[in-house]
Structure 1
């Protein structure tokens, strides 16, 4: 057995990698794992985690060993590790939540459970579905429209003097709300077609994104389905009310849209979804696990049980006990 810990110094509001290293070494010693069995590395640039995992997984495969990878960062770092591990059946990936969002773990438990290093090392491997998207692999949610436009606009405001993360976020929201709201989008959902004036759309494998927006409060990561939520274009005065409902997951209960959500939302379950803007206003902005890009067409397909993930002991036991049957429809 080999262990690889990937620490992202740029994740979160401050670099936590310094104090984390001695804490990891102490937990590894308590677990009886000697130094020759593990490696702790910091990332230095975007894509570094993916390369580190690919190289380590290939070496472990050649030596016939299992590799457990833990990322200390956010959902973007975790996504890189999952992408690097994807071709290797000997590799499983876990997360230590030191990023600003950490939406992946919201489908399983609490941040405190995932910060328990002893429970992490005593955990186990579970299989979950992945999404293959036009932006790459994703374990959580791929979205397009207003929310993606806000995320796409944040970097330009961060370049302004005295404009930190929260201020950049607020300015990007203000820009989008003051601009043209909504797109005419053609959806292909498992072969069927529909067109909608769409404020935004979330295709969900996991439950949350955007730092805690519970887009799909009942999504299961291993059920063989994507939960698709299409939010119709609404007036500016209605956006705040609708987003408040959406953030707290109050739009969807016991497998159905709530009465309050019905005027604003469409819901479908699917295995393949394609979005194409048809209003002649150019590409649509899409986002998945921190990656944002303008696309003429966004394609998303489910890859059943394609990822091996590491969960802390109690979380793993709970997840395995409540597995959803893959034939659920």
Structure 2
């Protein structure tokens, strides 16, 4: 088996490479990995993790040698590597949480479990569904509307001196709330067409996005279904109430919307979702696992059991127990 560590120095608040490389080397020795059995690479530009993962998968494909890739970064770095190994059934990807969001892991366990290198190397591989979107592959959630607009606006505020992550996030929220709230969108959900005055929406394969918002609190990433939540347009005074409910996952329980959420949310289960603005105001901002961009249309189609992921030992054991695998 070959093991590859891909470290993104640009992820998160500070460069993780200086401290992480010696920790990886020590954990590899404890796991019994010889020097030639693992490689540590530092990414140099956007898309580099995808290229390195693809090259490693190609190199090991002929022999069929199992390939384990661990990305140290955020959801974007993880999905770059996942995209790079598509089509190679001998390759699986795991994540070490050194990004700003790390929402992928929230479906399976805690940040502490995923940061434990010994637990990672002692863990195992499972297969999950993926989303094929017009923004690229996604393991968790594709979203559009107010929340995506906030994420899209953060980078420009980070360029202002003394504007760190949280300050930039708050400034972006203020900017969006001072602008035009809501979009009129037409959704096509497994053939059903809905036109809605919409604040935001989330197409969920996993539970969380946006740094911990539990948009899909009961989403199961290997059940062959997407949980689709559409939030109706509301006044500014109601937005804070909705966001509080949404962040904690209080809008959905036991397979249905809660009574508190029913006036504001539309829920569907689906395998394919598309949406497009019909208000004449141009593209809508969408986001998916680290990618964020204005789109004329947003599409998300389920790819059943298309992703092979690595889970640290505690999360892997819970996954097996939940799925009654022995």
Fold in common (TM above 0.5): yes
**How far does residue 313 in structure 1 lie from its aligned partner after superposition?**
1.6
Any residues of structure 2 matched to 1:57-136 within 5 Å, and which? 57-136=57-136
Counterpart Cα distance in 2 of 1:168 and 1:315 = 33
> Aligned equivalents of 2:308 and 2:105: distance in 1?
14
Deviation of residue 314 (structure 1)?
2.1
Cα deviation digits, residues 64-91 of structure 1 (max 9, x gap): 3110000011111101011111121110
**Distance of 2:12 and 2:107 partners within structure 1:** 20
Is residue 2:317 matched to residue 1:317? yes
Task: Note the C-alpha offset of 1:56.
Answer: 0.5
Cα distance in structure 2, aligned partners of 1:318 and 1:244: 29
**Cα distance in 2 between the residues matched to 1:206 and 1:323:** 16
Deviations 1:277-325 (A, max 9, x none): 1011111110011211111111110000000001112211211221399
Contact 1:220 1:324 in 2 (8 A): no
CA separation of 1:202/1:299 partners in 2, compared to 1, >3 Å: closer, same or farther?
Answer: same
Matched, 1:192 2:203: no
Matches of residues 2-41 of structure 1 in structure 2 within 5 Å? 2-41=2-41
Aligned to 2:50: 50
Query: Aligned equivalents of 2:68 and 2:7: distance in 1?
Result: 14
CA distance in 2, matches of 1:66, 1:233: 48
Equivalent residue for 1:241? 241
Secondary structure at the aligned position of 2:207 is classed as coil
Q: Which residue of 1 aligns with 2:168?
A: 168
1:131-146 aligned at under 5 Å gives the runs 131-146=131-146
The runs of 5 or more residues in structure 1 that have no matched partner are none
1:222–1:324 Cα contact (<8 Å) kept: no
**Rounded Cα–Cα distance in structure 1 between residues aligned with 2:324 and 2:232:** 30
> Are the aligned partners of 1:144 and 1:284 in contact in 2 as well (CA < 8 Å)?
yes
Aligned pair in 2 of structure 1 residues 324, 277: CA closer, same or farther (>3 Å)? farther
Residue 240 of structure 1 aligns to a residue whose secondary structure is helix
The alignment's TM-score, normalised by the length of structure 2, stands at: 0.98
Of 314-323 and 4-13, more deviation after overlay is shown by 314-323
CA contact (8 A) 1:222 1:323 kept: no
Partner of 1:204: 204
C-alpha distance in 1 between matches for 2:33 and 2:16 = 23
- The aligned counterpart of 1:293 is 293
**Residues 49, 16 of structure 1: CA spacing in aligned structure 2 closer, same or farther, 3 A cutoff?**
same
Q: CA deviation at 1:214?
A: 0.3
**CA positional deviation for 1:13:** 1.2
